[in-house]
Chains A and B, each alone.
Chain A
Amino acid sequence: MPLTAPCIDKVPDCCRAGLFSSVLPLALFGMLCLAWPGVVQGEVFLVEWAWVPSLDLYLRFRLDGLSLLFCLIVTMAGFFVSLYASSYMAGKQHLGRFFVYLHGFMIAMLGIVTADNLLLLFVFWEATTILSYLLIGFDHENTTAREHARQAILITVAGGLFLLFGILLLKTAGGSMTLSQWALSGDEIRNHGLYPAIFICVLVGAMTKSAQIPFHFWLPNAMSAPTPISAFLHAATMVKAGIYLLMRFHPLLGGTSLWTGTLVLLGGTTAVWGAVQALGPYDLKRILAYTTMMALGILTLFLGGQTVLSLTAATTFLMVHALYKASLFLAVGSIDHQTGTRDLRHLGGLLKAMPLTAVAVATATLSMAGFPLFFGFIGKEIMYEGALAEEMFPVFATTATLASNALMTAVAAIILITPFLGRRPLMTAQICEVPWTMRLGPAIMGGIGVLFGIIPEWVSANLVQPAVFAYHPAREEIRMVLFHGFKLPLLLSMITLTTGGLIYWFRIRLRHFIQTGLDRLWITTPGIYQRTLDLFLWSAGGFTRTLQSGSLHTYLSIILMVLAVIVGGSWFVHIPSVFIVPGINDDWIAAGLCGFILLSSGVVVTARRRLAAIGGLGGVGAGVALIFLIFGAPDIALTQLLVETLTVVIVSMVLFRLPPIDTVRKRARTRNLFNAVLSLCIGLLVTTFLMGVLTAPLDRSLTDFFEKYSYIAAHGRNIVNVILVDFRSLDTLGEICVVVLAAWAGVALMRSRKKEE
């Protein structure tokens, strides 16, 4: 289905792409509903195919209570977002691409929450990272959007690497790659020496994805994405992937004081920090992003706990948040779409113009604030119960929950009251309600928030309990009721609402206070991120400028120095102390030839004139040819003489078209000295190498073979020739190819020169 979207893009009415493709999530949602009663009964749906069995990688999908809950959220939000986007994105470019990304993302997300193989989960995990990058940067002509997309992908990919490392460590520690077997092997892993390392790696993976401090800053910046994307990825689904990961790892890694302490402190800090920052901005989407950060912090906090109450609180709040946040994001998108702004300072009095959106926002914000009869109220009650029952830091957990909930209440009031009540600014006088496709999502998701608030027993029995049981072994019955009685949680709820009201009253002073406080922070995580990025670019630039300078001298020197250090260094250890070189009778002619070659080489090196250099080269060639002749190799001596003559002729031809050697400026004495030392080092290396070769016994087996079969098999008496044209004829063919290619390239170069002339 997503693959067909680009074709629909061509249809003039591009809304149809969205309408048509929203059938996919709806159909999936319907199928999940069919499986739902079975899952509530404790049934588990499982399919498996082998993918790479040698790597423990199986395409193994499993649908239990927790997966079902996530799948329902993903498909429901996916449906409303597709529907919404069909109108919201109308007239934008690349709509086909947009829906491909969107539904690709949805499928990857469903893959994460249904994968029963850890490596498979990781594959989908990375897929969501890449797709979210594409979606955040969808408006790719906007520099800010591109930068924010890059920031999100760098941070989440880094987290993904940590997760992968954690997976590998887990495998080393003997952990199973099958998620559903973790409940059995938990103790073994928790007592393993690698446990802390595994825990940290998995945690960092979850923290980056779920925007926990200090990796939180990409989330507010991800608001550069089109609003339907923010609603889908950054409220309802992707940011919850980290939470899902923690839930799945709970039976395996949870229960230690390391787990509980870290998660409670981390989650509490993130929640309060996010909630405080939510008061600061005027941009509605940014406010919502910070409240999402708060929600993710709260979820992490409660996942730190071991009790059923704590996990129930996390699971319930997950649903509460998904419902109200997706609804709010879509409603804010509607406001933005109709008025052209999401700035609180320019909004007001929209109640009459957009009544249905106003109702949707009202239900969502009241749920967010946790008013009685709304689902958020149930969530808050159970949260306080869970926080009070926390094994570690119950006071901290309760205080953090209370503080962030109170701030949430105030933010909810700001979101509800400022845009919809009060005086309507002149510039928004002409606006009207959005089309039905954009009203449906916020209204229904807000409506579900009310409905669930009235029938909490049904919700707890059919959604929360199967989900919690899927990752918690204790089978205590979970029962949520409309009214818990006059107990401490109710008192805390009342305190929350009152404090929230007070904060709302003093919001302007508080906002000023928060903004000035934030501006004074001298060390911030985005700053560290930026400096790290700059450092990478700076060092990469430095390396490139040093290594890729284009200087022949630098390149050669580096290669030769590496050779001298590595090869020479290793020989220094392994070299035989005595060279036993076979000494055939010393011959004055051969020794004289050696001297002649050396002398000629010296002439080439020191020559200041071209003629002298050419003469020296010819002398070397001739000397080498004579050496070949003396030691029984007339064939190569002949070839060498011929080739040497030709070389001298060609060198002379070319060289006298070029300027004389000594016209080039002199090099510094130190550089010449460096060159000489380096060359002599390599020369010494070669001499040592040859001595070593001569010390070792000669392996004559190949030579013996050629000597034996040269005439019998190839009917030739000149063994060297037989080797070249018969035994090793393919080598000779290669040699001919090189000669032809060189000639060809040479002709081409010369011809292009003539053309220019």
Chain B
Amino acid sequence: MEALMALLVGLMIAAALYLMLSGLLVRFVFGFTLMGNAINLLIFTAGRLTYSDPPLINPGQTILAGQTANALPQALILTAIVIGFAMTTFLLILLARTFDQTRTLDADQPPFLCELPDTGPLASNINIPEKKG
């Protein structure tokens, strides 16, 4: 089962990166969300999978009894899910604002690319060489 999960996580990451590389900003956000899910699964699997009870202490006891799921990765993932949600929302708002400003969501279009001047004229006025020497 773990090997299957590892394969799934790898494929999800690949899908997410493919979306992020596509150059369309909407797909970038999709990829971002997908990657968040993939990484949560990765952390979960790394803490080992068990078909056991959730980590709850039974009433009347003070120490966890018997085999339960690993609590630590669950706590980490809980935090990650919430932060991932906040980031996705923020990205979406940013996306909407970007579209307002640029009227395009194609990241390979001019408003997103910086055009630096050629250094040719810059170099020529940086220093006047002395002729003799």
Contacts and interface: CB of A to CB of B under 8 A. Distances in A.
Contact of B132 (A524, A613, A667): A524
Contact of B126 (A537, A630, A684, A728): A537
Given A604-B15, A639-B82, A550 B113 contact: yes
A541 B116 contact: yes
A706 B131 CA distance: 78
A741 B83 CA distance: 11
The listed residue with most B CB atoms (<10 A of its CB), out of A542, A601, A693, A739, is A601
A685 B99 CA distance: 34
Given A683-B13, A731-B79, A753 B97 contact: yes
Contacts of B83: 735, 738-739
Contact of A750 (B4, B93, B112): B93
Nearest to B46: A693
Contacts of B129: 526-527, 529-530
B54 A694 contact: no
Given A518-B132, A639-B78, A707-B71, A717 B48 contact: no
Given A594-B4, A664-B105, A679-B21, A635 B9 contact: no
Contact of A678 (B17, B61, B82): B17
Interface string B103-133: 0011110001110101100110011111111
Interface in A621-658: 621, 624, 627-628, 630-636, 639-640, 643, 646-647, 650-651, 654-655, 657-658
B49 A584 contact: yes
Contact of A694 (B2, B16, B126): B2
Interface stretch (A164-172, A363-371, A406-414, A551-559): A551-559
B113 to A, nearest CB: 4
A658 B75 contact: no
Nearest to B110: A550
Interface string A89-102: 00000000000000
A550 B53 CA distance: 50
Interface in A437-475: none
Contact of A658 (B4, B11, B13, B95): B95
B93 A654 contact: yes
A676 B19 CA distance: 9
Interface of A (DSSP majority class) = helix
Interface string B1-26: 11111111111111111111111101
A40 B11 CA distance: 85
Interface stretch (A69-77, A126-134, A418-426, A695-703): A695-703
A533 B127 contact: yes
B55 A720 contact: yes
A59 interface: no
Given A601-B12, A707-B55, A650 B89 contact: yes
A430 B90 CA distance: 78
Nearest to A582: B2
A719 B5 CA distance: 25
Contacts of B54: 632-635, 720
Nearest to B63: A708
B10 A686 contact: yes
B92 to A, nearest CB: 4
Contact of B34 (A527, A604, A720, A750): A604
Contacts of B47: 698
A527 B58 CA distance: 85
A470 to B, nearest CB: 36
A658 B1 contact: no
Nearest to B132: A518
Interface in B64-107: 64, 68-72, 74-75, 77-79, 81-90, 92-97, 99-100, 105-107
A741 B15 CA distance: 29
Nearest to B100: A753
Interface string A656-700: 011101001101000000011011101111111011011000101
28 contacts: A217-B133, A220-B130, A549-B113, A553-B21, A560-B21, A579-B3, A584-B49, A598-B11, A601-B11, A604-B15, A621-B37, A633-B54, A643-B85, A646-B85, A647-B33, A651-B33, A651-B88, A664-B106, A675-B21, A690-B10, A690-B45, A698-B70, A720-B78, A738-B87, A743-B89, A746-B89, A749-B97, A752-B97
Given A664-B23, A683-B15, A685-B10, 17 more contacts: A518-B133, A583-B2, A584-B51, A604-B30, A617-B34, A620-B12, A636-B44, A636-B74, A643-B82, A651-B88, A679-B13, A698-B48, A703-B72, A718-B55, A720-B74, A720-B75, A752-B97
Which 10 interchain pairs have the tightest Cβ spacing? A683-B14, A687-B10, A632-B69, A541-B119, A550-B114, A742-B86, A524-B133, A679-B17, A723-B75, A683-B10
Interface of B: 1-24, 26-30, 33-34, 37-38, 40-42, 44-59, 61-64, 68-72, 74-75, 77-79, 81-90, 92-97, 99-100, 105-108, 112-114, 116, 118-119, 122-123, 126-133
